[in-house]
Amino acid sequence: MEQFFINSVFFGAVISLVAYEIGLLIKKKFRLAILNPLLLAMLGVMAFLVIFKVDYDHYNEGAKYISYLLTPATVCLAVPLYEQLTLLKKNFKAVLVGILSGVVASLVSILGFSVLFGLNHEQYVTLLPKSITTAIGMGVSEELGGIVTITVASIVITGILGNVIAEGVCKIFKIQHPIARGLALGTASHAIGTAKAMEMGEIEGAMSSLAIVVAGLLTVVGASVFAGII
């Protein structure tokens, strides 16, 4: 049996899709935000791999074809963005101020917590790019001398958490305007947050896509300035 999982090319992709479908069913049945299909699917696959002692590499043999589509899918985010271009131009100032405040808040709060936890320079710069999309974040971390594996882990944790709590946070803090919601999700939790924004609505999705790009670029500059502090 284990040998089969190791040799199969389709196993990794199939178990990911099945786990996601099960996640959707559970979400539909219980209707709780914490029962996020993405989160459930990941935990389900993790449990399966641990129980059946399948290596991540063997799982990824099949799963990598799902990840492969991530670049083309990100390219496609230009479509909702293009469709909301008029709205974007009208609200240019709000978009810019929103994303900029978010990026500054991210860097300042990471600095504050790093001081609080007594992190060293290496650990601090590892976390600085945690709110931006993985590929940019990895580059920033590497350049500043951080530990790239941990940066990726914190980016993934940030994304999933953002995806799970988005609706609750918007409700509690009264973020009701679709533009504000989209910007908040994209700036705080990059592409994984954008996946949730797409579910919320077209405007949310478009603004979140834009925020991935703008917040990513602003963080490249901002992180290099903040890196000198600790």
Judged by CB, which is closer to another protein: 38, or 227? 38
Least distance in Å: CB of 219 to another protein? 10
Give the span between the Cα atoms of 163 and 208, in whole angstroms: 12
Taking the complex as a whole, how short is the minimal distance between the CB of residue 191 and another protein, in angstroms?
A: 7
CB of 6 to another protein, least distance (A): 16
At 150, the amino acid letter reads I
Nearer CB in complex with another protein: 7/68: 68
| Cα-trace Rg, the chain | 19
Task: Tell the smallest beta-carbon distance from residue 157 to another protein (Å).
Answer: 5
Nearer to another protein, 7 or 78 (CB): 78
CB of 4 to another protein, least distance (A): 19
In angstroms, the CA 148 to CA 210 distance is 25
Q: How far apart are CA 80 and CA 78, in angstroms?
A: 6
Joined together, the tokens standing for residue 67 give 């990840």
Shortest spacing between CB 29 and another protein, in angstroms: 18
Nearer Cβ to another protein (133/227): 133
Round to whole Å and give the CA distance between 146 and 25: 39
Q: Which is nearer to another protein, 203 or 227 (CB)?
A: 203
What are the CB-based long-range contacts (under 8 Å, 24+) for 41-49? 41/16, 42/160, 44/19, 45/15, 45/16, 45/19, 48/15, 48/19
Helix (H, G, I), strand (E, B) or coil at 9: coil
Output the six-digit token pair for 159.
Answer: 């994304």
Please, which residue, 103 or 227, has the CB nearer to another protein? Answer: 103
| Rounded-to-integer distance, Cα 40 and Cα 139, Å | 29
